[in-house]
């Protein structure tokens, strides 16, 4: 498993030019794809453990004996 850092972001709407905060957390790459000037919102870091493959999902299988 690996850890992914997710944040809420301050973005600028390309149509209206208004700045807003995202409701949901996202990676830096996703935020920068939406707005190259995106800024992290302080104190909103969420670290999630993400499986590297299907073999790491075995512990969540309800049919496992």
Dump pLDDT digits (tens) for 2-48: 899 999 999 999 999 999 999 999 999 999 999 999 999 999 999 99
Domain boundaries in the chain?
Answer: 2-50
Read off φ and ψ for residue 52, nearest 5 degrees: -85, -20
23 DSSP assignment:
S
60 DSSP assignment:
G
How far apart CA 16 and CA 39 sit, in angstroms, is 18
42 DSSP assignment:
T
* pTM, rounded to two decimals: 0.76
Contact 51, 4 (CB under 8 A): no
How far apart CA 57 and CA 51 sit, in angstroms, is 7
């Amino acid at each position: 498993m690996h850890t992914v850092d997710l944040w809420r972001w301050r973005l600028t709407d390309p149509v209206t030019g208004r700045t807003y905060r995202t409701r949901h957390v996202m990676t830096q790459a996703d935020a920068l794809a939406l707005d190259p000037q995106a800024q992290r919102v302080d104190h909103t870091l969420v670290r999630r453990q993400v499986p590297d493959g299907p073999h790491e999902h075995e512990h969540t299988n309800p049919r496992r004996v």
